[in-house]
Every structure is written in structure tokens, then in C-alpha cells.
């Protein structure tokens, strides 16, 4: 498993008054540091350690999001009144409901 393929993010934590390093594939992990660079380095090292530990214990390791294949389809349940409203908007625009929903999600 290449930990470089995981999805890392660094953001500011007002609560901690420090930068926080995060990894999308390991949402329970974080690393606080005074600089963004140190936060990124810290979370990457922490993920490396956790993956090594998981391997040693023969646990299932999360696949990097960047390596997953996506079909482009997912189901969403919405209230009937929203469905009706979206269908009306799509009809008025002369497009499919799917195209309207896709455009709204992209926007």
C-alpha cells in the first residue's frame, strides 16, 4: 500500500490555534502543528504508522480514493415535493432530470 496515494488536506483549526493535517481515508486521524508543512508531514507519518500496524495485524487497509473506480451513478432519496420541483425545473429548461441534478451538484 502506497501511503502517498491517500488524500491529504491541511486546514486551520481556530479551536486549537494550529494547522491540522487530515487524511480522507482515515477520518479518525489528525495531526496538529504550527505550520501547514509540519501538519502535512505529521499526518503522513501517522498514516504510515497506522497502515504498518494494520498490516501487522492483518486488518483490512482502506483503498486510496484516487485508486477507486467510480461508475458515475449513485442513488439519492429526496422528499416527493423536491422531486416534483426538480422535475418541473428540468421540463421548463428542456433537459432531463438527470442533467439538471448533475448541473446542480456540480455548481
State pLDDT tens for residues 48-102: 999 999 999 999 999 999 999 999 999 999 999 999 999 999 999 999 999 999 9
What is the DSSP code string of 13-49? ETTTTEEEEEETT-TT-EEEESSHHHHHHHHHHHHHH
Fold topology of 3-66: Double Stranded RNA Binding Domain (3.30.160)
Segments of the chain assigned to CATH 3.30.160: 3-66
Q: Which three cell numbers stand for residue 5?
A: 496515494
How many CB atoms within 10 Å of residue 77? Answer: 5
pTM (predicted TM-score)? 0.74
Q: Is the pLDDT of residue 1 over 90?
A: no
State the residue for C-alpha cell 497502515: 51
Amino acid at each position: 500500500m502506497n501511503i502517498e496515494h491517500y488524500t491529504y488536506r491541511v486546514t486551520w483549526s481556530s479551536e486549537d490555534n494550529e494547522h491540522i493535517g487530515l487524511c480522507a481515508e482515515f477520518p479518525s486521524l489528525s495531526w496538529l502543528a504550527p505550520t501547514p508543512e509540519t501538519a502535512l508531514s505529521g499526518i503522513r507519518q501517522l498514516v504510515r504508522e497506522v497502515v504498518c500496524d494494520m498490516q501487522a495485524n492483518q486488518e483490512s487497509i482502506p483503498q486510496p480514493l484516487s485508486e477507486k473506480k467510480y461508475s458515475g451513478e449513485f442513488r439519492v432519496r429526496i422528499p416527493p415535493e423536491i422531486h416534483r420541483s426538480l422535475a418541473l425545473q428540468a421540463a421548463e429548461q428542456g433537459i432531463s432530470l438527470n442533467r439538471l441534478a448533475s448541473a446542480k451538484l456540480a455548481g
